[in-house]
């Protein structure tokens, strides 16, 4: 806890002093912040490594992000390319390899403000879909940046539904080439990152047609820009898709291919091959391709989505102890706004969620790794569960992280609307995660399908399936509990009690889902029709299941902290708050079958309001424990030292609207004002 | 026209034109609104650049140009009615953000309200003709909603008969006023008045900030733009710092309070009317919520009728995404909400005008309730709309994230409504204060009137959830009136719970204020329930006034959906209060799904009835003709990143990168 050098701000004079309202929050420490940071990092050695990387990044002026908010789309793209370029050189010098923890920490320190992110996605796809020769050929080209690659799947008219993609790759046996073609306007590839301006190659997902038969989606490496002068190659129409809410660092692109010919060897052929004569040969199932999609989703959680909510909490909570507004008692000085119950109710459940999701994602990552090991031994049995969990958790996490960070932004009043607060950028980034890598509604429904299927299995052969139920749905066969035994508010502060309550609701909803579906089927609808007519309830079911999983994962994390009682206590309060907040938000589901009575819901509310007051005391320490550096927060409101107003004033001066002239005055205001005589 | 949209329009069960008349208030209003809109659209001076491709500075410049132009045009076209000026501005300015807007919406009204006749003579003419451009500077960097906390001082110097203005701290710097950053040369500044060594609280002063002729900040004035924001790129929200800056005594607005030449302070007689402006602005914002949500629904629903994706049954062609139940469930409740808010907005506006006439005749009796109601409704509608616009955007998938959809713009322009003109939570607590007062009044034996009259007749048993038997009637989920009753019971119950919890805390804490803070979560809940009841009530009452049968039928479905969806979202309240049973909630959920199916064929016609011009929507996805993809491609080609075939960064970074590694 000694000198948190890594946290110190941008070297401005006022930041040598911590704002007294911030200092007072850190005076009494009911737990060791450093210990909690280590837990979040997964060990003290990780914390040390992370800080080392952060100090390398932040001490390098080329990586400065302080002008980010003043840049237009083009400038931010250029800056991101420049940073990426500089980063590659440093990484090479220091021996940081792709996929190393250093890479990950550097990305975190730079808040993802780098270009060419899809280069990595290309490499990963190559490794999972390419043959050994293809991997050997293309990997070094990528690593040395002799080519810049992207990944092109989504089309103008087609997204989540892969089978709907229209781009075609037709094999021409005469020349042993594929002819890759966009047959319609809606077939234009649209949204792929790095493709608008940067990429020289892209991995195109297209319908394979050979020997006159359509063989479904396959991946093709298509050169799109000249390696000599970067101009688009013949037959290629490529460009940027225009301004977006955020991600200006990435040049999302469009691509139209007009009968572009590529050699036969450019089709990735680990799982399927087209022989020179046009014969299509399948080489096994694409289980691992499907696995790589899961990997992307799980890595997104800790690498992108959850830190955005964590940062939003840090900024909003720090600002809320500096900002004073009105007074609680007329005679008192103006109160810190965090002392208002309504402000606590906005922010503290978000903080609890940020912690809950962190542990949830960590546990999911562990499950992913063990599944990976199993797959190496040709055991694919965990895949359906892993797929269902990762889909639902990605959907829940991105939904609630978005809602939470937007709430944090609005909880900062007017200043939260200024980009200098850092909050608008967090919101616009996290909101994209609700639709990319699988639209959340579609993902929830995938989870629901898994839940309903498992439930129907338990019904088909009663009693005999208990052992074969995947662990995450084992509660489907848990002993039935009709009523919650809690008598008073304090009873609800028991992890076992509220975990059981969540399991009860999730199980009931799964049964409801199945019954609705079966009722429709019995009345004559076919399965697909019946499924579409019942999707609203399936969504609700998947959400309840995921919430249950997150509560359970949080409580399991607590159990492992027996030897750190102080940290355990503060985390338990967050866990309680998370679980009870969820119950109150979904009170109807708990009241519905009488599992909770009205009086019990009132008791939950009492417990919840008391928790707000308790968590309030540790709020700043809990945000400190995330250990985000000031430069990575890039917020005038959320810096460690709490010098909000000086920073805001100082940063505003640097806005181009102040440093550059006012052409509008010369052109329009002056003529407007010129009718002025000597009246004033 | 896109085939899908053509089919949708042909299959509608009602004539959207008739519904447009309902929304505008009369066929005559619709006609006149279109006439004004066409004036602009047919005007060669009205060039509508796509703002999405411009930098902030360019967007500001465009807005200033349009503002300057507009003053001329409004005169030229002879538009004088405030409502019509609003229509004009809305289509002319696209985002409705106007750097010189504060001159008309705040500077001039404040001058009229608080200035003496002499002051009005001096300033009014030149500000109306934009010979001077004024703004209104209240909010400071460290102080917002709580007015008494403002720190700026105006100290009277009897020697020179001047006020000395100072920004004593960083937190006292004026921050956020629109048009202050670059545009205005005068500001009405709110400051703590100090004379003869005594502070008399906040007063308004006219402060010249930029030199006439050069537009340079005057000595002692530090003024500038506060930097980039989430939205409002066209607006130069500014900061203002004053160092021993002197203005003549006559620059204090002295209609009410006065400072005599010798420094003697003369108290105002009464100052009740000032909050009339506040009520007006907030009631206007309720209407804005309705309009913004209606726009978002128009875009999302039209696009959902054009977009095809996935399959419901394997092997069949991709259906319109509007045929997926989940998509209907995302959008139709929001459409119903948009209609509900349209009627709430119309009601608030009418009520304001009615009460305002009363005030003109000295009748202030209805003002407190209106003030309380509008505060809560502003918060209720803006919170709901804020979330709903985002939901519409996400319902458009990836393309919703692109500025081509227009939805990001609608969102960032609307979302400050939640925090400005009174932060929403504070607004809800103001409504709660009125509810608590009314509750106490009933308990001391006096009846209350208006929208809170339900507090008069509630049986005390209502708070005990077990006694279902006390309910005289069973809720009929097919009757808007019966559902309104259900909402009324919920509001009554939550008001009572808040009141009782507040009483308990008062007894325990021995301080009303501490107790208030510790009950504030309950209080906000009570206000929300009250506002929800008001919205439901206004919607179902509106149905009675609809003549046309087919329009009535479709609006009735929307009204039912609005009511039932709210119940399903807040089912806990209805169950806990024993207002409805578990099996009724199950029926509610079932009925919602039936309504989705019933509304589906009319969805496109229902958004057509909002009658937005394509330029107002500013959306490629929401175009009336539905030709989305062709225009999306054309739009993207205009992006500045596509100006050169090979981007500069290739030579600067990418090429060297390839050689250095």
* A67-115 residue pLDDT tens: 999 998 889 999 999 999 899 899 989 999 888 999 999 999 998 888 8
CA distance A460 to chain B (A): 25
CA-to-CA dists, residue B48 to B41, B74, B217, B232, B406, angstroms: 9, 18, 32, 17, 14
The answer to whether the CB atoms of B227 and A669 lie below 8 A apart is no
Residue B337 — pLDDT band, cuts 50, 70, 90? very high
The answer to whether the CB atoms of A329 and B56 lie below 8 A apart is no
Q: Are A655 and B225 in contact (CB under 8 A)?
A: yes
* DSSP letter (8 states) at residue B191: E
d(CA A647, CA A655): 13
Q: pLDDT digit string (tens) for B173-188?
A: 999 999 999 999 999 9
The answer to whether the CB atoms of B398 and A324 lie below 8 A apart is no
Nearest-by-Cβ selection for A160 from B309, B327, B655: B309
Section A401-415 average pLDDT: 96
Residue A164's pLDDT is 87
Residue B431's pLDDT is 97
Nearest in space to A172 (alpha carbons), one of A259, A271, A281: A259
Nearest-by-Cβ selection for B520 from A143, A241, A340: A340
Section A405-421 average pLDDT: 96
CA distance A629 to chain B (A): 22
Q: Which residue has the higher pLDDT, B47 or A299?
A: A299
Residue A288's pLDDT is 60
Residue B465 — pLDDT band, cuts 50, 70, 90? very low
Percent of all residues in chain A with a pLDDT value above 70, rounded to a whole number: 95
- Determine the residue of chain A that is closest to B647 in CA distance: A197
Q: What is the ipTM of this complex?
A: 0.90
Section B493-500 average pLDDT: 96
- For an interface test with B, give the residue of A80, A187, A243, A523 to mutate (most B CBs within 10 A): A243
Query: Which range scores top for mean pLDDT: A122-126, A528-532, B242-246?
Result: B242-246
Percent of all residues in chain B with a pLDDT value above 90, rounded to a whole number: 68
CA distance B313 to chain A (A): 6
- For an interface test with B, give the residue of A652, A661, A675, A677 to mutate (most B CBs within 10 A): A652
Nearest-by-Cβ selection for B632 from A154, A156, A339: A156
Residue A677 pLDDT > 50: no
d(CA B536, CA B532): 6
Section A629-639 average pLDDT: 95
Alpha helices in A248-305 (DSSP H): 287-300
CA-to-CA dists, residue B295 to A269, B438, B549, B603, B616, angstroms: 48, 37, 26, 14, 9
Residue B91 pLDDT > 80: no
Name residues whose C-beta falls within 8 Å of residue B601's C-beta, 6 or more positions apart in sequence: B8, B11, B12, B13
Residue A346 — pLDDT band, cuts 50, 70, 90? very high
Q: Which residues of B touch A82 (CB under 8 A)?
A: 649, 652-653
Q: pLDDT digit string (tens) for A613-633?
A: 999 999 999 999 999 999 999
Q: What residues of A form the annotated binding site for FAD?
A: 154, 193
Q: Which residues of B touch A648 (CB under 8 A)?
A: 141, 175
The answer to whether the CB atoms of B57 and A185 lie below 8 A apart is no
Structure tokens at B428: 């809800």
Nearest in space to B171 (alpha carbons), one of B193, B155, B152: B152
CA distance B544 to chain A (A): 32
The answer to whether the CB atoms of A646 and B593 lie below 8 A apart is no
Residue B354's pLDDT is 86
Structure tokens at B543: 């149905």
d(CA A134, CA A264): 12
When computed from its CA atoms, the radius of gyration of chain B, rounded to whole angstroms, is: 27
| Of the candidate ranges A231-235, B211-215, B288-292, the one whose mean pLDDT is the lowest | B211-215
Residue B355 pLDDT > 90: no
Q: Which residues of B touch A190 (CB under 8 A)?
A: 398
Nearest-by-Cβ selection for A649 from B130, B170, B215: B170
Backbone phi, psi, residue B324, to 5°: -80, 135
**Start-to-end CA span in chain A (Å):** 62
**Which residue numbers of A are catalytic?**
437
- Determine the residue of chain B that is closest to A430 in CA distance: B401
Nearest-by-Cβ selection for A414 from B176, B424, B635: B176
- For an interface test with B, give the residue of A161, A186, A191, A669 to mutate (most B CBs within 10 A): A669
Residue A1 — pLDDT band, cuts 50, 70, 90? very low
Nearest-by-Cβ selection for A536 from B55, B325, B575: B325
Residue B469 pLDDT > 70: no
Q: What is the pTM of this model?
A: 0.93
| B421 given a catalytic annotation | yes
Q: Which residues of A touch B227 (CB under 8 A)?
A: 69-70, 418-420, 651-652, 654-655, 657-658
Nearest-by-Cβ selection for A434 from B394, B513, B650: B394
Residue A678 — pLDDT band, cuts 50, 70, 90? very low
The answer to whether the CB atoms of B403 and A243 lie below 8 A apart is yes
CA distance A633 to chain B (A): 17
B139 has binding-site annotation: yes
Q: Which residues of B touch A242 (CB under 8 A)?
A: 52-53, 402-404, 635-636, 638-639, 641
Residue B419 pLDDT > 70: yes
Section B599-605 average pLDDT: 98
Section B364-382 average pLDDT: 90
Nearest in space to B150 (alpha carbons), one of B177, B163, B168: B168
Backbone torsion region of residue B208, taken as left when φ is above 0, otherwise alpha when ψ lies between -120 and 50, otherwise beta = beta
Q: Which residues of B touch A339 (CB under 8 A)?
A: 517
Residue A5 — pLDDT band, cuts 50, 70, 90? very low
Beta partners for B192?
Answer: B153, B202
The answer to whether the CB atoms of B656 and A85 lie below 8 A apart is yes
Active-site choice (B98, B140, B151, B421): B421
The answer to whether the CB atoms of B465 and A663 lie below 8 A apart is no
- Determine the residue of chain A that is closest to B410 in CA distance: A245
Q: Which residues of A touch B404 (CB under 8 A)?
A: 242
Q: Is A146 exposed, middle or buried (0-12, 13-18, 19+ CB in 10 A)?
A: middle
Beta partners for B137?
Answer: B189
Residue A679's pLDDT is 42
Backbone torsion region of residue A42, taken as left when φ is above 0, otherwise alpha when ψ lies between -120 and 50, otherwise beta = left
Residue A14's pLDDT is 62
């Amino acid at each position: 806890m000694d000198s948190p050098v890594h946290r110190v701000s941008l070297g401005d004079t006022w930041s040598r002093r911590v704002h007294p309202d911030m200092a007072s929050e850190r005076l009494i420490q009911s737990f060791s912040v450093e210990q909690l940071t280590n837990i979040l990092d997964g060990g003290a050695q990780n914390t040390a490594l992370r800080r080392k990387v952060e100090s390398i990044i932040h001490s390098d002026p080329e990586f400065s992000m302080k002008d980010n908010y003043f840049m237009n789309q083009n400038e931010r793209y250029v800056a991101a390319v420049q940073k990426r370029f500089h980063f590659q050189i440093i990484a090479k010098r220091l021996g940081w390899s792709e996929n190393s923890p250093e890479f990950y920490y550097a990305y975190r320190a730079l808040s993802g403000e780098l270009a060419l992110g899809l280069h990595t996605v290309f490499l990963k796809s190559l490794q999972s879909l390419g043959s050994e020769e293809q991997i050997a050929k293309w990997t070094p080209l990528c690593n040395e940046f002799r080519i810049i690659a992207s990944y092109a799947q989504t089309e103008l008219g087609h997204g989540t539904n892969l089978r709907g993609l229209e781009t075609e790759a037709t094999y021409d046996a005469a020349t042993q080439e594929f002819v890759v073609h966009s047959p319609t306007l809606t077939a234009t590839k649209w949204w792929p990152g790095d493709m608008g301006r940067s990429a020289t190659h892209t991995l195109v997902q297209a319908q394979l047609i050979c020997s006159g038969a359509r063989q479904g989606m396959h991946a093709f490496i298509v050169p799109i820009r000249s390696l000599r002068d970067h101009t688009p190659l013949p037959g290629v129409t490529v460009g940027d898709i225009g301004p977006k809410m955020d991600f200006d660092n990435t040049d999302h692109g469009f691509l139209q291919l007009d009968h572009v010919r590529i050699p036969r060897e450019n089709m990735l052929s680990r799982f399927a091959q087209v022989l020179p004569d046009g014969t299509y040969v399948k080489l096994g199932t694409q289980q691992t391709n499907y696995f790589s999609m899961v990997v992307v989703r799980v890595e997104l959680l800790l690498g992108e989505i959850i830190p955005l909510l964590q940062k939003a909490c840090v900024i909003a909570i720090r600002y809320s102890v500096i900002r004073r507004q009105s007074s609680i008692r007329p005679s008192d000085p103006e109160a810190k706004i965090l002392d208002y119950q309504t402000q606590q109710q906005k922010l503290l459940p978000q903080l609890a969620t940020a912690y809950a999701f962190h542990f949830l994602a960590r546990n999911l990552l562990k499950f992913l790794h063990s599944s990976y090991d199993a797959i190496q031994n040709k055991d694919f049995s965990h895949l359906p569960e892993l797929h269902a969990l990762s889909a639902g958790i990605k959907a829940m996490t991105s939904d609630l992280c978005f809602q939470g960070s937007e709430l944090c932004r609005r909880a900062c009043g007017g200043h939260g609307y200024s980009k200098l607060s850092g909050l608008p950028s967090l919101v616009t980034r996290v909101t994209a995660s609700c639709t990319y890598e699988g639209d959340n509604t579609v993902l929830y429904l995938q989870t629901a399908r898994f839940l309903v299927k498992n439930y129907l299995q338990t019904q088909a052969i009663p009693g005999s399936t208990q052992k074969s139920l995947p662990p995450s749905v084992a509660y489907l066969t848990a002993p039935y509990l009709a009523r919650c035994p809690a008598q008073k508010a304090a009873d609800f502060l028991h992890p076992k009690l509220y975990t059981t309550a969540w399991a009860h609701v999730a199980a009931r909803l799964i049964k409801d889902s199945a019954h609705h579906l079966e009722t429709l089927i019995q009345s004559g609808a076919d399965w697909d029709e019946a499924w579409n007519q019942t999707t609203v309830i399936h969504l609700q079911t998947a959400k309840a299941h995921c919430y249950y999983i997150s509560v359970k994962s949080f409580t399991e994390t607590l159990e492992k902290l027996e030897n750190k009682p102080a940290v355990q206590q503060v985390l338990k309060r967050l866990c309680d708050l998370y679980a009870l907040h969820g119950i109150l938000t979904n009170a109807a589901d708990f009241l519905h079958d009488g599992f909770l009575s009205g009086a019990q819901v009132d008791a939950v509310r009492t417990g919840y309001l008391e928790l707000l007051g308790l968590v309030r005391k540790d709020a700043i320490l809990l945000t400190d424990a995330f250990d985000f550096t000031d430069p990575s927060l890039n917020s005038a409101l959320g810096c460690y030292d709490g010098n909000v107003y000086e920073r805001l004033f100082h940063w505003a001066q640097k806005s181009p609207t102040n440093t550059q002239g006012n052409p509008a005055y010369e052109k329009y205001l002056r003529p407007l004002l010129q009718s002025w005589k000597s009246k004033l | 026209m896109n085939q899908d949209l053509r089919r949708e329009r042909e299959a509608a069960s009602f004539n959207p034109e008739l519904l447009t008349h309902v929304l505008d208030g009369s066929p005559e209003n619709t006609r006149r609104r279109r006439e004004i809109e066409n004036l602009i659209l047919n005007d060669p001076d009205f060039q509508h650049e796509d703002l999405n491709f411009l930098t902030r500075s360019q967007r500001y410049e465009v807005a200033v140009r349009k503002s300057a132009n507009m003053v001329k045009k409004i005169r030229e076209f002879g538009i004088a009615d405030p409502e019509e000026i609003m229509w004009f501005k809305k289509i002319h300015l696209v985002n409705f953000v106007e750097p010189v807007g504060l001159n008309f919406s705040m500077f001039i009204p404040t001058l009229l309200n608080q200035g003496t006749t002499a002051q009005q003579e001096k300033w009014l003419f030149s500000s109306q003709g934009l010979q001077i451009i004024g703004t209104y500077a209240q909010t400071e960097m460290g102080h917002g909603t709580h007015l008494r906390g403002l720190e700026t001082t105006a100290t009277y110097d009897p020697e020179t008969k001047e006020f000395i203005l100072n920004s004593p701290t960083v937190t006292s710097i004026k921050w956020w006023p629109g048009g202050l950053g670059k545009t205005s040369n005068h500001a009405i500044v709110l400051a703590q008045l100090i004379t003869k060594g005594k502070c008399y609280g906040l007063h308004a002063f006219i402060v010249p900030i930029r030199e006439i002729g050069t537009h340079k900040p005057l000595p002692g004035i530090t003024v500038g733009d506060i930097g980039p924001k989430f939205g409002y790129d066209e607006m130069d929200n500014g900061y203002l710092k004053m160092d021993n800056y002197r203005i003549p005594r006559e620059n204090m607005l002295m209609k009410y309070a006065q400072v005599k030449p010798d420094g003697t302070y003369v108290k105002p007689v009464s100052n009740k009317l000032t909050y009339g402006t506040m009520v007006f602005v907030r009631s206007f914002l309720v209407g804005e919520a309705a309009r913004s949500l209606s726009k978002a629904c128009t875009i999302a629903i039209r696009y959902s009728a054009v977009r095809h994706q996935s399959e419901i049954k394997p092997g069949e062609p991709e259906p319109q995404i509007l045929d997926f139940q989940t998509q209907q469930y995302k959008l139709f409740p929001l459409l119903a909400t948009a209609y509900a808010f349209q009627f709430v907005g119309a009601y608030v506006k009418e009520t304001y005008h009615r009460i305002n006439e009363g005030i003109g005749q000295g009748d202030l009796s209805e003002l407190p309730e209106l003030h309380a109601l509008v505060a809560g409704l502003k918060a209720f509608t803006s919170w709901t709309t804020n979330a709903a616009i985002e939901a519409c955007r996400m319902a458009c998938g990836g393309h919703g994230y692109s500025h081509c959809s227009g939805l990001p713009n609608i969102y960032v322009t609307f979302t400050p409504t939640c925090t400005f003109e009174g932060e929403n939570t504070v607004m809800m607590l103001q409504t709660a204060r009125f509810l608590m007062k009314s509750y106490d009044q009933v308990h001391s034996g006096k009846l209350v009137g208006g929208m809170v009259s339900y507090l008069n007749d509630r049986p005390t048993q209502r708070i005990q959830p077990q006694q279902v038997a006390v309910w005289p009637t069973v809720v009929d989920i097919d009757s808007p009136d019966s559902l309104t009753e259900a909402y009324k019971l919920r509001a009554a119950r939550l008001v009572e719970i808040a009141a009782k919890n507040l009483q308990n805390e008062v007894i325990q804490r021995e301080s009303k204020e501490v107790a208030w803070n510790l009950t504030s979560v309950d209080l906000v809940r009570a206000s929300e329930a009250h506002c929800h009841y008001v919205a439901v009530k206004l919607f179902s009452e509106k149905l009675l006034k609809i003549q046309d049968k087919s329009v009535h039928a479709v609006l009735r479905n929307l009204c039912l959906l609005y009511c039932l969806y709210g119940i399903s979202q807040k089912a806990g309240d209805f169950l806990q209060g024993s207002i409805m049973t578990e099996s009724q909630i199950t029926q509610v959920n079932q009925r919602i799904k039936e309504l989705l199916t019933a509304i589906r064929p009319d969805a496109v016609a229902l958004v057509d009835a909002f009658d937005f011009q394509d330029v107002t929507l500013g959306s490629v996805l929401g175009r009336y003709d539905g030709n989305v993809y062709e225009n999306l491609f054309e739009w993207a080609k205009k992006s500045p990143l596509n100006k050169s075939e090979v981007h500069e960064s290739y030579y600067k970074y990418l090429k060297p990168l390839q050689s250095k590694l």
